[in-house]
Amino acid sequence: PFAATEAVQDAMTKAMENGVKEVGIKVQGPGSGRDTAVKAIGATEGIRVTFLKDITPLPHNGCRPPKKRRV
């Protein structure tokens, strides 16, 4: 979670220097760093979050299982 927080703080300072006022967040994959990063972005003063979307891929049915073993 520490690395996620540091990365977000660095990105937010660069965004504010370039005049960004609103951001949209797309998160992918599991992990505690994802939640920490979203909270850190929300806590940043001067930047408004317009949307938060989870784009983690989910299998619909997966691969076909192997044939049953016959003895």
Q: What residue spans define the domains of the chain?
A: 2-54
pTM above 0.85, yes or no: no
pLDDT attached to residue 59: 86
Q: At CB < 8 A and 24+ separation, what contacts does 55-60 make? A: 55/26, 55/27, 55/28, 56/27, 56/28, 56/29, 56/30, 57/28
Q: Dig out the tokens for 63 from the structure.
A: 């691969």
Partner residues linked to 49 by β-bridges: 23
Chain position carrying tokens 């990063």: 37
pLDDT attached to residue 8: 92
Low-confidence ranges of the chain (pLDDT < 50): none
Write down the CATH number for the domain with range 2-54.
3.30.420.80
